[in-house]
Amino acid sequence: MIRKIHVGLLLFFVVQSYGQSLINDGATIMLQEGAIVYSTESFTNRNGGQIKGDGTMDFASAMNLAVINPGVVIGDLSFSSSLTNTSDAGFMMDIQGTAGIGVDNGNDHVFVDGDLVINGILDIAAIDGFMPVINDSFTIISYTGDLSGSFTTVNLGANLTDFAVDYSMLGQIRLVHQSLLSREEFILESLRVFPNPTNDYIYIKALQKIDKVEVYDLLGKQVLLTNQTEKVNLVSLAKGLYLVKVYSGNASQVKKIQVK
């Protein structure tokens, strides 16, 4: 059985559970802060429908044929599944400042706990007079699985003309100043990060000398920085997936690890 939410409705969700597939057929679904919309079946957003607000769409899989627009002003919207963004679909994202993901004076963010397939349109605007500077970097989308494709059209607001979308960091799609993209990331020879998964420590081996190691969660927050490069203590980290960025001179490379 498939349940449809029809054109013209504006629906506010705190917690809602469905026992079947859900099609948003042109309505605006507004997730209040911390809201969860749940089903063991699939979700489809189509016919100009919008997914807005702060919360979680928890389905077996999700497909966007319309608009994903986190928050009311700035928001953090999650999909607890794979997500496919089709060629006519789009993300609408705002950046208000550099305070962080999904918070006031921060930036919109979408988190995908699974594979991410992207096509279509990405619109990003700097709002409330925010003027980014050369060293600013904004994680706008995070994902835990594999990434396929790229946005075919990117529309940047007037204050973002010197910025570009960057897909190079594993698990993240970022908006960064174009000058930062010129700092080429080289592949470290024979880089190994093990064991993976791990309970407490990781060991890092490469042909080059390792200068430092950074660890990030999948929202782009740095959770560890160390110069102890051969054996890195992860005991303080909660269970989950992390990105380990290894530096050697001007070279760097990212590996994804799981802490059990």
pLDDT, tens digit, for every residue of 2-37?
666 554 555 565 666 767 899 999 999 999 888 899
Q: In the chain, which residues fall in CATH 2.60.40?
A: 192-259
Q: What is the pTM of this model?
A: 0.77
Q: Most distant CA pair in the chain: distance in Å?
A: 60
Is there a contact between 23 and 4 (Cβ–Cβ < 8 Å)? yes
Q: Which of 188, 218, 191 is nearest to 202 (CA)?
A: 191
Lowest mean pLDDT among 7-11, 139-143, 235-239, 252-256: 7-11
Residue 156 pLDDT > 80: yes
> How buried is 42 (Cβ within 10 angstroms: 0-12 exposed, 13-18 middle, 19+ buried)?
middle
What average pLDDT does this structure show over 141-147?
A: 93
Looking at residue 256, its pLDDT comes to 86
Looking at residue 170, its pLDDT comes to 83
- Gap between the Cα atoms of 246 and 114, Å rounded: 24
CATH code for residues 192-259: 2.60.40
Residue type at position 251: A
Q: What is the pLDDT of residues 191-219, one digit of tens each?
A: 889 999 999 999 999 888 899 999 988 77
Helix or strand or coil: residue 127? coil
Strand 42-46: give its sheet, edge to edge.
2-6, 21-25, 42-46, 61-64, 82-85, 116-118, 147-149
> How buried is 38 (Cβ within 10 angstroms: 0-12 exposed, 13-18 middle, 19+ buried)?
middle
What are 59's two structure tokens?
Answer: 């389905």
In this structure, what DSSP letter does residue 128 have?
Answer: T
> How buried is 207 (Cβ within 10 angstroms: 0-12 exposed, 13-18 middle, 19+ buried)?
exposed
What average pLDDT does this structure show over 135-144?
A: 92
What average pLDDT does this structure show over 165-189?
A: 76
Q: What is the pLDDT of residues 102-131, one digit of tens each?
A: 999 999 999 999 999 999 999 999 999 999
Q: Which of 139, 257, 121, 157 is nearest to 202 (CA)?
A: 257
Residue 184 pLDDT > 50: no
Q: What percent of the chain has a predicted confidence (pLDDT) above 70?
A: 89
